[in-house]
Structure 1
Amino acid sequence: MSNSSSNAVLYSADGQPVTLGEILSALSFALDMTEGARPGHSLRACLIGMRLGKQIGLSSQALADLYYALLLKDIGCSSNSARMAGAFTAADQVVKQRFKFVDKEKLGKPNREALTFVWSNVAPTANVWSRIRQIYRMVRAPGNLTAEMVEERCESGALILDKLGMGIETCAGVYSLDEQWNGHGLPDHLVAQEIPLLGRVCAVAQHLDSFCSEFGSAKAMATLADRSGVWFDPDLVRAAESLHQQEALWENCVPGSDPRLLQTAVLALDPGSSTALASRHIDLICSGFADVIDAKSPFTHRHSVGTTEAAVLISNAMGLAPSRVDVVRRAAMLHDIGMLSVPNTILDKPAPLTREEWVVIHRHPVLSQEILSRVSAFSEIAILAGQHHEKLDGSGYPFHLHGQQLSIESRILTAADVFSALMESRPHRQDLSPAEILQQLEQDVPHRLDPACFDAIVSVLDQLAVLPLDDIPGRSADTIPELVMVEPPPFRFEANPR
């Protein structure tokens, strides 16, 4: 990609340049799915947290850092999904959501709350003796499972934010999300003011929305007060209570609120709303979320990157214009974002899937399209992501489209996805060699896979055989920016003004 195209601003169909807040607020719905949270959790936590930040007098720069920390507080959530599902033999999203309502200090000790949580969540569909055996294995396992999973989540989130150039305050806020005021939190047992302020605000905002969504605002405030000085910063609790009394805390954040008003309210707080993103910055964001997607399962590690490299090589071999290659590359990086909704008990299952489990799998392209379509400039990317399992003869899913309904970009993405998947091991099979992959793909040409795409794969097979190559697929190192703090405005990206 030339330097001029990497600096180009991406515009939506109505001529408006896309901003960081628009992209992150849209992609945050994928993080909500991964955590099993009610859709819009990250946006509601962002509104609540920003109101708290203003109430305690944070500077404009600190509010900017807080805004991105709140939207992305769960960006490391997929890193422990496989381990969570394996330990509990249960859907990771369900366990993660219920995990927010228990006292984590008690989980490692024999007490009623810990026993109730474990018994309710370990192997819930198995017979009683299987459940007891699984609980015994958990108890006998070396180390502290809770601490290790929280640490994995915190470290992964901070590393992805650092990759995105979000800055030390935002990274520290996300890393310290699970610390507690009394020093009994994780991962570093920080005490009181040792916990970064943004982490303390994020923790309160997360608690308030999680409890309000499940039990109502009164219960959320009562539990917050009970945990003041134990889990939460007493000053932040008082700030939340003051806003609650003024009826200034919950607008657009209670169950039943209009999601369009929620989105509008969050975007109105975007510290980068007057700054458009360059093409290379958008690629970096897509790459960061590709990391989130690939971390969901050890069997899909680097799948998004491998698919993207394959798609770019195929596109170039077929002579696509650079602007079309850009579209294919971004769609490939994010094509499986809907897969974050699929429990690891299904993704990592070695046995054949049931009919009900296939229904869940077949829904992920729909969710990919729904999430990406929330970004106005991603309308075409969203369509491609939604079609990446379609086949020319209509035998694909989820829409059963036929060849005449599928663009060349869609056909390229499908071929790249299949090639990359066959290069990777899965719970039910080993990875295939390039020669074996070609033999299998050839059986699907021309009725299911596009012949021109297959010919392009053959022409670049030597390069495809060593995928994945780059951290940001299809981009040379000299076009990958070092994103640094720019002040003013309070915005981390070296973006072009509107």
Structure 2
Amino acid sequence: MLLDVLGLLSACSYALDCVEAELVHVSDKHAKRVAYMSVCMAEQLGISGESLQDLAACALLHDNALTQYIQEELHKDVANVPQASQVGIHCTLGEKNIQRLPFHTDVKNVILYHHENANGSGPFGKTWEEVPIFSRIIHISDLLDRAYGAKGFTEDTFNKACGYLHKNEGTVVDKECVDAFLQAFPLPHFLTLGEDGFEKNLWEKIPRIKQELSFAQIKELASFFAQIVDYKSPFTSTHSIGVAEDAERLSRYMGFDEETVEKMYLAGALHDIGKVAVGNEILEKPGRLTEDEFAVMKHHAAYTYYILSDIDDFDEIRDWAAFHHERLDGTGYPFGKTAAELNTQERMMACIDIYQALTESRPYKQGMSHEKACEILWDMAKKGWLDETIVKQVEDCFRG
């Protein structure tokens, strides 16, 4: 399947930023800004083509091991450096995670060493000569955005950033990267980092060329995304992959072509990505949600739609993923779609999501039997919410 992989990874970075913004209040679009700063610096060093694409991908995902990051690493002040062993855990897990992604070039150790200091005082004791150039570029971009992004990109913060770089050159950051940053970001360019237009500039520098992925690669990508949801709530990753696997199985059972099967798998894995924008106090509440809490929870499907909307030629998969709480009678959410507006795959996803949620075990409940889950699906179909034909297919496909 042809996919805008970099667009998908950008969507993933937005999801990560949502979690960071909720829990630790980092500045908006942190990952994309780190990617843009990194790309601009790399151009000064003569890096181009597929290497530049891969640098952007690594920069977007530099903090993908978010659980450890939140617990052990994040500090608003760049001078307040956490214990090296703790940062090392975050880097090690992040390095392992990205190995499942389809890069063009060798990005080994880029995430692993992106917190190394120039003088060898980082978590793994590597000096700047021992660290990949991509790691050093991301390191300086990340430091600067964390220190000054939330304060705003002004002439004052520009002067402070330059002062920080000169003061810490040779210890925290290396001269080659300091020079590249200062060449890439004179004051007028630095000021644009606080404007919305920087994202457009990023994609002009890094064209999002679609890649042909095998189903095995799509599954690895889907697993990576599901893990991001897991950072928010431990049981949801299992749910997302469960929905993906059920979507693949039902699609094959109903006789759809291979590309549709693969798209349904990906839509299933991504359908709850919007939950990253919902607070854990609601996501993990074991009891019944209040009316206000449920109103907040309902927004997650709209967030899924929003997060996936910036991916090129992804509208079909986006809709299959985001419309999983719509009902045929128009009483669903977030858009109140009616039967005339819901296609077969969207109707399938609604049934699959409910079936998987009913049959899977969670920390606060035991999963239902196939028979009991189907009883509930049939009841919902009789109320005019679900497609009876698809409920029958679900009953037959997942029996035994």
> What TM-score, normalized to structure 1?
0.68
How far apart, CA to CA, are the structure 2 residues paired with 1:431 and 1:336?
19
| CA spacing shift, 1:51–1:292, aligned 2, 3 Å | same
CA deviation map 1:222-267 (0-9, x unaligned): 254354444333432343234333644554x22x333xxx343222
Q: What letter is aligned with 1:268? A: E
What's the counterpart of residue 43 of structure 1?
32
Q: CA deviation at 1:363?
A: 1.3
What's the counterpart of residue 328 of structure 1?
264
How far apart, CA to CA, are the structure 2 residues paired with 1:415 and 1:29?
28
How far apart, CA to CA, are the structure 2 residues paired with 1:190 and 1:360?
46
Q: CA deviation at 1:452?
A: 1.9
What's the counterpart of residue 160 of structure 2?
222
What's the counterpart of residue 240 of structure 1?
181
Q: Does the 8 Å contact 1:68/1:170 carry over to 2?
A: no
How far apart, CA to CA, are the structure 1 residues paired with 2:48 and 2:199?
23
Which one of the candidate residues 199, 203, 212 is aligned to 1:277?
212
What's the counterpart of residue 159 of structure 1?
96
How far apart, CA to CA, are the structure 2 residues paired with 1:57 and 1:192?
18
| CA spacing shift, 1:378–1:165, aligned 2, 3 Å | closer
1:444 is paired with a residue of what secondary structure?
helix
2:109 is paired with a residue of what secondary structure?
helix
| CA spacing shift, 1:34–1:221, aligned 2, 3 Å | farther
Q: Does the 8 Å contact 1:69/1:171 carry over to 2?
A: no
Q: CA deviation at 1:43?
A: 2.4
Which one of the candidate residues 305, 323, 345 is aligned to 1:409?
345
CA deviation map 1:70-122 (0-9, x unaligned): 12223332x448x84xx9xxxxxxxx8x63446554x67xxxxxxxxxxxxxx
| CA spacing shift, 1:63–1:313, aligned 2, 3 Å | closer
How far apart, CA to CA, are the structure 1 residues paired with 2:18 and 2:339?
32
* Structural mapping, 1:14-25, within 5 Å: 19-25=4-10
**2:145 paired with 1:209:** yes
How far apart, CA to CA, are the structure 1 residues paired with 2:49 and 2:114?
21
Q: CA deviation at 1:318?
A: 2.9
How far apart, CA to CA, are the structure 2 residues paired with 1:200 and 1:429?
47
* Structural mapping, 1:17-416, within 5 Å: 19-36=4-21, 37-58=26-47, 62-77=51-66, 79-80=67-68, 84=71, 99-101=75-77, 103-105=79-81, 147-148=85-86, 150-166=87-103, 169-186=106-123, 188-217=124-153, 218-219=156-157, 222-223=160-161, 224-225=164-165, 226-245=167-186, 247-249=188-190, 251=192, 253-254=193-194, 256-258=195-197, 262-270=198-206, 273=209, 276-278=211-213, 280=215, 284-416=220-352
In structure 1, stretches of 5+ residues that fail to align are 1-5, 11-17, 88-95, 109-145, 464-498
Q: CA deviation at 1:185?
A: 3.7
Q: Does the 8 Å contact 1:48/1:250 carry over to 2?
A: no
Q: CA deviation at 1:307?
A: 0.2
Percent of matched pairs sharing the same residue: 28
Q: CA deviation at 1:189?
A: 4.5
In structure 2, stretches of 5+ residues that fail to align are none
Q: Does the 8 Å contact 2:78/2:143 carry over to 1?
A: no
What's the counterpart of residue 468 of structure 1?
none
After superposition, the CA RMSD in angstroms is 3.3
| CA spacing shift, 1:378–1:279, aligned 2, 3 Å | farther
| CA spacing shift, 1:356–1:267, aligned 2, 3 Å | same
Q: CA deviation at 1:458?
A: 1.6
How far apart, CA to CA, are the structure 2 residues paired with 1:346 and 1:189?
41
How far apart, CA to CA, are the structure 2 residues paired with 1:102 and 1:352?
42
1:174 is paired with a residue of what secondary structure?
coil
How far apart, CA to CA, are the structure 1 residues paired with 2:225 and 2:356?
18
Q: What letter is aligned with 1:74? A: D
How far apart, CA to CA, are the structure 1 residues paired with 2:129 and 2:110?
13
How far apart, CA to CA, are the structure 1 residues paired with 2:294 and 2:138?
36
1:380 is paired with a residue of what secondary structure?
helix
Q: Does the 8 Å contact 1:365/1:387 carry over to 2?
A: yes
Q: Does the 8 Å contact 1:412/1:453 carry over to 2?
A: yes
What's the counterpart of residue 369 of structure 2?
433
Q: Does the 8 Å contact 2:7/2:208 carry over to 1?
A: no
Q: Does the 8 Å contact 1:154/1:174 carry over to 2?
A: yes
CA deviation map 1:325-357 (0-9, x unaligned): 333222112111111222333323335444444
How far apart, CA to CA, are the structure 2 residues paired with 1:342 and 1:151?
29
Q: What letter is aligned with 1:21? A: L
What's the counterpart of residue 395 of structure 2?
458
Q: CA deviation at 1:386?
A: 1.9
Q: Does the 8 Å contact 2:378/2:391 carry over to 1?
A: yes
**2:386 paired with 1:449:** yes
Q: What letter is aligned with 2:377? A: L
Q: Does the 8 Å contact 2:229/2:275 carry over to 1?
A: yes
Q: Does the 8 Å contact 2:52/2:206 carry over to 1?
A: no
Task: Report which structure shows greater RCO (CA 8 Å, sep ≥6).
Answer: 1
Q: CA deviation at 1:184?
A: 4.6
